[in-house]
Amino acid sequence: MAAYKGHDKVVQMLLEAGADPEKKWSSLCLAARKNRVGVVKILANTKGVELNRDFKGATAFFTAAEQGFTEIVKVLANTEGVNINKAWNGTTPLFQAVRLGHIEVVRIILAKTEDVELNRKWYGYTPLQKAIERWKKYAPRNYANKYTHEHHAARKKYGKIMNILGGRKGIDIKSAWYTTSYDRSHPLTTSSVRNRKCGH
């Protein structure tokens, strides 16, 4: 409960008194779900804490990435032993961060993830393909006269994610554009994708 509520000092005191952070539920997962950065820092550096244990299927890292909790993602990504690619429910932390538009989380994961994860498909999409699909979803032509500032902001956000992914060596850019293009007879080349200003 202390971890869930974010009571850093109480958590530290309980751990020093010999409390088991893994009893019944994962304290790390509970803290991550509520964005309790201080508690996560304590638990991530506590001997005996299972860093990759899940709570209802999702690990602490997966939960933080999905929710866009940047500070927790940063802490766990830099904690030895944390598996930042552990999948749950048919997807990964990277894919979820891309799908939900968490720009900084995508940057953090890309700096740490293995190349083999970059072009792996989840629900039929690689992370880049999903970013392109979301970017195209918010194209003005799809909304006629109902295109709002929110739509524009979303398109710009996914455009930034596309550029971040496109700049990572090892990502298959050309096939990503081809398989998500509305006009498959005119797939963009790798070089043009790299130079395209996707955020506009």
The string of pLDDT tens digits covering residues 38-50 is: 889 888 888 888 8
Contact criterion met (CB below 8 Å) for 76 and 63:
no
Q: pLDDT by residue (tens digit) across 9-63?
A: 545 544 443 444 555 567 888 889 889 898 898 888 888 888 898 877 789 999 9
Q: What is the pLDDT of residue 82?
A: 95
Closest CA to 65 of 85, 42, 51, 49: 85
Question: What residues are paired with 111 via a beta bridge?
Answer: none
- For the chain, how many residues are written? 200
Q: What is the dihedral of CA 46, 49, 54, 59, to 10 degrees?
A: 30
State the DSSP H helix or E strand holding residue 58, giving kind and residue range, or none if neither.
Answer: strand 58-59
pTM: 0.80
Least Cα distance to 19 among 36, 7, 35, 33 occurs for 7
The pair phi, psi for residue 108, each rounded to 5°, is: -65, -45
Place of tokens 């429910």: 89
**The Cα angle at residue 131 between residues 76 and 113, in degrees rounded to 5:** 30
What is the pLDDT at residue 101?
A: 96
Q: How much is the pLDDT for 111?
A: 92
pLDDT at 14: 43
The segments of the chain whose pLDDT lies below 70 read: 1-25, 177-200
Q: Would you state the structure tokens that stand for residue 18, as one six-digit string? A: 């010999």
- The amino acid present at 70, given as its one-letter code, is T
Hey, is 186 helix, strand or coil?
coil
Per-residue confidence (pLDDT) for residue 90, from 0 to 100:
86
- For 48, residues 6+ apart whose C-beta sits below 8 A from its C-beta are 20, 21, 22
